Structure 1
Amino acid sequence: MDRKKELKEQYKQMRPDMGIVGVRSGKEAWCYIEGSQNLRAALNGIRFKLEAGFFPCRELMKKWQEQGGENFTFEVLEQLEYDKDETKTDYTDDLVLLLMEWEEKLLDQGFTVAKR
Structure 2
Amino acid sequence: MSSSTPARTRAEQKRQYREQPRQAGIYLIRNTVSGKLLLGSSMNLHGPLNRHRFMLSIGAHPNRALQDDWRRLGPDAFEFTVAEVVTPQDEEAGPHEDELWLLEQVWIERTSPFGERGYNLHPRIRDA
Aligned residues: percent identity?
28
Runs of 4+ displaced beyond 2 Å: 85-89, 91-97, 113-116
- RMSD value, Cα: 2.6
Give the conservation status (yes or no) of the 8 Å contact 1:103–1:113: no
Gapped regions of structure 1 (runs ≥ 5): 1-10
Which of residues 86, 92, 99 in structure 2 aligns to 1:94?
Answer: 99
Pairing of 1:10-29 with structure 2 (within 5 A) = 15-29=21-35
Residues 1:55 and 2:95 aligned together? no
1:20/1:76 contact within 8 Å kept: yes
Unaligned runs of 5+ in 2: 1-17
Secondary structure of the 1:23 match is strand
Q: Higher strand proportion, which one?
A: 1
Going from structure 1 to structure 2, the CA distance change for 1:35 and 1:64 (only over 3 Å counts) comes to same
Measured after TM superposition, the shift of residue 94 of structure 1 is: 3.2
TM-score by length of structure 1 reads 0.72
Count residues with an aligned counterpart.
103
Distance in 1 separating the partners of 2:62 and 2:101: 19
